[in-house]
Amino acid sequence: MQVEELRARAARRKFAIQALLIVGVIVIIWSAVASARINLTALGITSGFGFLERSTGWSYSFSLIERDINDTYTKTLWIGFQNSVFVGFISIVLSTVLGFAIGTARDAYNLSIKAAATTFVQIFRNIPLILQVVFWYAILIHMPGPRQAISVGELAFISNRGVMLPGLNVTSGIAVGMIAFSVLLFIALTIFKTTFGKKLILWFSGSILALILAGVLFTPAGESILSIPTLKGLRFVGGITVSIELVAMIVSIVLYGSAYIAEVVRGGLQEVPKGLIEAGQAIGLPQRAIWSRIKMPMALRTIIPPLGNQWIFIMKATTIGVAIGFSDLFYIVSTSITQSGQTLELIALLMGAFLTVNYLIAQLTNWLNASLKLKGH
């Protein structure tokens, strides 16, 4: 009885301490908010979120959906949030793929491949991200004009107006829906008990099939499914125009993030016990089979936790868009603060948005980590 009583007292003591801490945090936050309201009222500044229904009266460079200069702050902030998540998702996917490739090359036996991968990591990991985005932006704005644009098979073009790519002849809303479907398909495939390579093949095949179906079902009558960019006068029409700011953002974040992910992958591969590798060699498995069936499955259990941290970092890195005028959420919030003066409310919305997205990424990482645990551990 004494042991049970002591345990009960310890549990009650822990609960009381936690309750006091929560109450203390609430009191501090409430006091700060109340003090801020009093100070803002004294300065003649109206607090609250009523400004969200007002028209912004200004435009910006990029949006995934239709926008107008008379959009409300609510819609403008939503567009900025979409832009940040869009850039973050693309950067996370590309950084992960490139990072795994570079990390595997860092663990290769071929010295030339290993040296090239090491050089890549040392260059892009040690240059500040903001310098990289400014560097790529400076290169892109000095590309030739539309009439002298660099052509890639007469299908894609690169100029100082951006990168023009062929695309489906559908609305931007349908395109955003396809991206969301691809994300949901990837999450759904993680549930199935199969190899990582097969999951990637299924995800890629399913995404391509969904794009083809979307093109067939939603292409306007009398028009072709595929829209090819064509030069008319001083600009390109048709296809998909990727702005210079967006290209610079993705390229710089992917190169920077993949360098860190490569080190995470290399470290995970080196953690695999050598005895397992020697056992695979002893039964005559080729190097590719040893990598795909022994090293990588075992290394993933070490790679996933720090990989999740890198995904969160990449999502937060989208805020560098303000340096080159890309209309991500941070840029939209900064401009909104200047125009409306609602600093505290907008900063709170910015913090809440990133907290929500990064929390979801952390939960996904925890789920992946738990699903890869060995039984009994």
pLDDT at 284: 79
Q: What is the DSSP letter of 230?
A: E
State how far the Cα of 208 lies from the Cα of 238, in Å rounded to an integer: 21
pLDDT tens sequence for the chain (377 residues) = 577 777 788 888 888 888 898 999 889 888 877 777 777 667 666 667 778 888 888 888 777 777 888 888 888 999 899 899 989 988 998 999 999 999 989 888 888 989 999 999 999 999 999 999 999 999 988 888 878 888 777 778 888 888 887 777 777 677 777 777 877 887 777 667 666 667 778 888 888 888 778 777 777 766 677 777 777 777 777 777 788 889 899 999 999 999 999 999 998 888 888 888 778 878 877 777 777 777 887 888 888 889 999 999 999 999 998 888 888 899 999 988 888 878 888 898 999 999 999 999 998 888 877 777 665 44
Contact assessment for residue 104 and residue 265, using Cβ atoms and an 8 Å cutoff: yes
First to last CA, the chain: 32
Classified as helix, coil or strand, 345 is helix
Residue 255, judged by CB atoms within 10 A of its CB (0-12, 13-18, 19+), counts as buried
pLDDT at 377: 47
43 is written with which tokens? 């300065």
Number of C-beta neighbours around residue 194 at 10 A: 10
State how far the Cα of 228 lies from the Cα of 151, in Å rounded to an integer: 12
Angle between helices 343-371 and 329-340 (to 10 degrees): 160
pLDDT at 315: 93
For 191, how many CA atoms within 13 A lie in the half-sphere containing its CB?
4
Could you tell me which of 305, 241, 304, 257 has the C-alpha nearest to residue 93? 257
State how far the Cα of 354 lies from the Cα of 85, in Å rounded to an integer: 9
Radius of gyration of the chain (CA): 25
CA quadruple 93, 99, 100, 106: dihedral, nearest 10: 170
Is the alpha carbon torsion for 192, 198, 199, 202 positive or negative?
A: negative
State how far the Cα of 63 lies from the Cα of 4, in Å rounded to an integer: 61
pLDDT at 281: 78
pLDDT at 1: 52
Place of tokens 């913090």: 351
| Letter string b/e over residues 64-76, b meaning 16 or more CB atoms within 10 A of that residue's CB | eeebeeebebebb
pLDDT at 44: 64
Classified as helix, coil or strand, 202 is helix
Can you say whether residue 346 is alpha, beta or left, with left for phi > 0 and alpha for psi between -120 and 50 degrees? Answer: alpha
Number of C-beta neighbours around residue 128 at 10 A: 10
What are the backbone dihedrals phi and psi of residue 154, each rounded to the nearest 5 degrees, phi first?
60, 20
Residue 152 forms beta bridges with which residues?
156
State how far the Cα of 208 lies from the Cα of 196, in Å rounded to an integer: 18
pLDDT at 222: 66
pLDDT at 46: 64
State how far the Cα of 54 lies from the Cα of 51, in Å rounded to an integer: 5
